[in-house]
């Protein structure tokens, strides 16, 4: 088994809910193998207050969680992301195109909250991407 560390960027429109949940979950379940980050195409000024309440009730750390602009992750000093997962309907537009120029970029779009079929397909696609990364 590889001891590589992977950074995963979760990209959404507002970076106020879904991508924040994904960042928090990745940082909790990713242990030492991965670190989650999140960003928005047009980020809100602050998180949806319900998001923080839910994360605290589930005993997830909320320190440092705040909306960030995707351009922060396109800068030279940004942490390199191995995967960029778009958790929205639009596909990421210019943000995804810019981030795709990085040699370490892998894209995956998961749209629509609450759809088990979409999420199941997204998980399967992520497995495929992970196998491709491990092989190459």
Domain boundaries, the chain: 6-135
Does residue 110 have a pLDDT over 90?
Answer: no
In terms of phi and psi (left: phi > 0; alpha: psi -120 to 50; beta: otherwise), the region of 119 is: alpha
Please give the Cα distance from 31 to 116 (Å, whole number): 25
CB 69 within 8 A of CB 45: no
CB 65 within 8 A of CB 47: yes
When pLDDT is cut at 50, 70 and 90, the band that residue 108 belongs to is low
User: Who's near 51: CB < 8 A, 6+ residues apart?
Assistant: 16, 17, 20, 21, 65
Question: Could you report the per-residue pLDDT of 29-45, keeping only the tens digit for each?
Answer: 877 888 999 999 899 99
* CB neighbourhood size of 36 (10 A): 24
Question: Could you report the per-residue pLDDT of 89-100, keeping only the tens digit for each?
Answer: 655 566 666 666
Top-level class of domain 6-135: alpha beta
Pair of tokens at residue 118: 């979409």
pLDDT value of position 84: 82
Whole-number mean pLDDT of the chain? 75
**pTM beyond 0.85, yes or no:** no
pLDDT value of position 93: 63
Cα of 24 vs its chain's centroid, Å: 10
């Amino acid at each position: 088994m590889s001891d590589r560390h992977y950074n995963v960027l979760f990209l959404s429109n507002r970076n106020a809910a879904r991508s924040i949940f994904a960042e928090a979950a990745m940082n909790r379940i990713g242990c030492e193998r991965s670190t989650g980050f999140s960003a928005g195409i047009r980020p809100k000024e602050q998180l949806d207050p319900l998001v923080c309440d839910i994360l605290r009730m589930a005993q997830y750390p909320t320190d440092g969680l705040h909306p960030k602009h995707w351009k922060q992750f396109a800068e030279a000093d940004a942490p390199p992301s191995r995967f960029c997962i778009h958790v929205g309907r639009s596909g990421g537009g210019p943000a995804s195109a810019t981030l795709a120029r990085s040699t370490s970029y892998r894209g995956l779009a998961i749209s629509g909250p609450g759809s088990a079929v979409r999420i199941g397909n997204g998980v399967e696609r992520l497995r495929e991407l992970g196998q491709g990364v491990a092989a190459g």
